[in-house]
Structure 1
Amino acid sequence: MLKKVIVLLLVGFAVYYLLSTPADAADFVSSAFGGIMDAFQRVGVFFDELVN
């Protein structure tokens, strides 16, 4: 029960943050997406070097 309450509070805070500061939220999403793409690129380089 406590876990559900904590998850709901975190989701509620995330929604509030997205709605109250959309510019900051857009920057966060952009940087997170860039980080994910960078991680995939590094994994690709690792496997490329592993094969060669």
Structure 2
Amino acid sequence: MDVKKVGIAIVVIFVLFFVISQPQNSADFVTGILSALGDVASSLILFLRNLVS
């Protein structure tokens, strides 16, 4: 068995365990990540607009 496949399987099992055992914390975590990515995208767009003008 490939080490990469075993690593991916362990990560998937851990994520499933976390989602099943603590669904509210999992949802808060995902919401936080998406919010941070949205902030990064907004900042990048603002930077590019200021760069062009």
TM-score scaled by length of structure 2:
0.93
- Work out whether 1:2 is the aligned partner of 2:3: yes
- The equivalent of 2:40 in structure 1 is 39
TM-score scaled by length of structure 1:
0.94
Pairs aligned (count):
52
- The equivalent of 1:14 in structure 2 is 15
- Cα drift, residue 51 of structure 1: 0.7
- Cα drift, residue 17 of structure 1: 0.3
- The equivalent of 2:50 in structure 1 is 49
- Cα drift, residue 47 of structure 1: 0.5
What's the RMSD between the two structures over aligned residues?
A: 0.6
Q: Which runs of 4+ in 1 moved over 3 A?
A: none
Structure 2 unmatched runs, 5+: none
Determine what percentage of the aligned residue pairs are the same residue: 29
Q: Distance in 2 between matches of 1:37 and 1:19?
A: 26
